[in-house]
Amino acid sequence: MTKVIKELNKWKAIRKSDVFLNKTVGLVPTMGALHDAHLALIKKSIQQNDITVVTIFVNPTQFNNQKDFKNYPITIKEDLSKLKKLNVDFLLNPSYEDIYPDNYEYKVVESNLSKILCGKFRPGHFDGVLTVVLKLLNLVKPDRAYFGEKDYQQLKLIEGLVKAFFIDTKIVSLPTVRTKEGLALSSRNLRLSEEQKIKAVEFPKSLASSLSNDKIKSLLRKKGFKVEYIEQIDNRRFGAVYLGNVRFIDNVKI
Ligand code: PAF
């Protein structure tokens, strides 16, 4: 039975109760519109912990573009039935007012990794991500928290957050889940037309190719993508592109 909790006061009381006594806890933070990549994280948490808590909170502070926030897909009914099927213990689905009693006057700011790649093009994005993740870690107090490698920069920043603030949670990461054609699963894919979905496959394909970053950029532009960045750091190539008004990010080990 999945227990759905919306109010943080209720949640805090349950978290302190005997239900959690001597139990290991896994946290899977999400913004909903759950797909197979989320489900892989949830299954891993169920495997590794006594209790699994999934959070669904479309976090406004991590959207630097209000239109993108407004257009973010919300599929709470479908999400809940997926969670019930997996027998997830708790769904925490809080309000903005509960999560931000300070109206975002307090925030976590990282000054190095958060300023490059996506951070360069989405000012304030990672402040919002790190702030909400810190709040969720404090609220759920999990032994383990689960994140996908598709958001590799986010993953590395969250690992840094946990280390910097002595948070007693192990960050567990899982590889990017892709369609059989190679497109990384993302909630934003719901906003693609069938034609765009076919075209979108060119993006991960080109990232994994042996072409230079510049060649990849011009190839993708010719195919109708708007390219934000293609960059290599160590042995990983990162990219962000748009098809229409849908933004994709991806990264591959090379
Ligand atoms: O990756 C996401 O879905 C979000 O950035 C997260 C980690 C749930 C924070 O809002």
- Give 214-234 pLDDT, tens digit per residue: 999 999 999 999 999 999 999
List the CATH number of the domain containing 224: 3.30.1300.10
Annotated catalytic residue, options 11, 27, 30, 38: 38
CA-proximal residue: ligand 1, atom 1 (nearest): 30
Pairing of strands 236-243, 246-253: antiparallel
179 located within any domain: no
* Average pLDDT value over all residues in the chain: 97
CA-proximal residue: ligand 1, atom 9 (nearest): 129
- For residue 104, the CA-to-ligand 1 centroid distance in Å is 17
- Same domain (yes/no): 108, 223: no
The pLDDT-based confidence of 123 (bands split at 50, 70, 90) is very high
Of 174, 208, 235, the position where a domain reaches its end is 174
pLDDT digits (tens, 9 = 90+) for 141-156: 999 999 999 999 999 9
- Same domain (yes/no): 32, 54: yes
pTM of the model: 0.97
Query: What pLDDT is attached to residue 177?
Result: 98
The pLDDT-based confidence of 72 (bands split at 50, 70, 90) is very high
| Of 94, 92, 23, residue with least CA distance to 59 | 94
- Same domain (yes/no): 42, 160: yes
CA separation for the pair 201, 207 (Å, rounded)? 10
Query: What pLDDT is attached to residue 170?
Result: 99
Question: 3-state DSSP call for residue 68?
Answer: helix
pLDDT digits (tens, 9 = 90+) for 29-53: 999 999 999 999 999 999 999 999 9
pLDDT digits (tens, 9 = 90+) for 230-253: 999 999 999 999 999 999 999 999
Q: Is 56 in the pocket of ligand 1 (CB under 6 A)?
A: no
Over pLDDT 90: what percentage of the chain? 97
Residue 38 annotated in active site: yes
Over pLDDT 70: what percentage of the chain? 100
Which value, in Å, is the radius of gyration of the alpha carbons in the chain? 18
136: phi then psi, degrees, rounded to nearest 5: -65, -40
Of 140, 174, 208, the position where a domain reaches its end is 174
CA-proximal residue: ligand 1, atom 6 (nearest): 30
- Same domain (yes/no): 112, 217: no
Stretch (H or E) spanning 41:
helix 36-48
- Total domains in the chain come to 2
Which of 42, 64, 132 has the most ligand 1 atoms within 8 A of CB, as the residue to mutate? 132
181 located within any domain: no
Query: What pLDDT is attached to residue 69?
Result: 95
- Same domain (yes/no): 170, 203: no
- For residue 31, the CA-to-ligand 1 centroid distance in Å is 6
List the CATH number of the domain containing 61: 3.40.50.620
CA-proximal residue: ligand 1, atom 3 (nearest): 30
Number of Cβ atoms within 10 Å of the Cβ of 124: 15
Query: What pLDDT is attached to residue 146?
Result: 99
Range of the domain at 30: 3-174
Query: What pLDDT is attached to residue 76?
Result: 97
The pLDDT-based confidence of 179 (bands split at 50, 70, 90) is very high
- Same domain (yes/no): 63, 150: yes
Q: Which atom of ligand 1 is nearest to the CA of 187?
A: 3
pLDDT digits (tens, 9 = 90+) for 74-110: 999 999 999 999 999 999 999 999 999 999 999 999 9
- Same domain (yes/no): 32, 120: yes
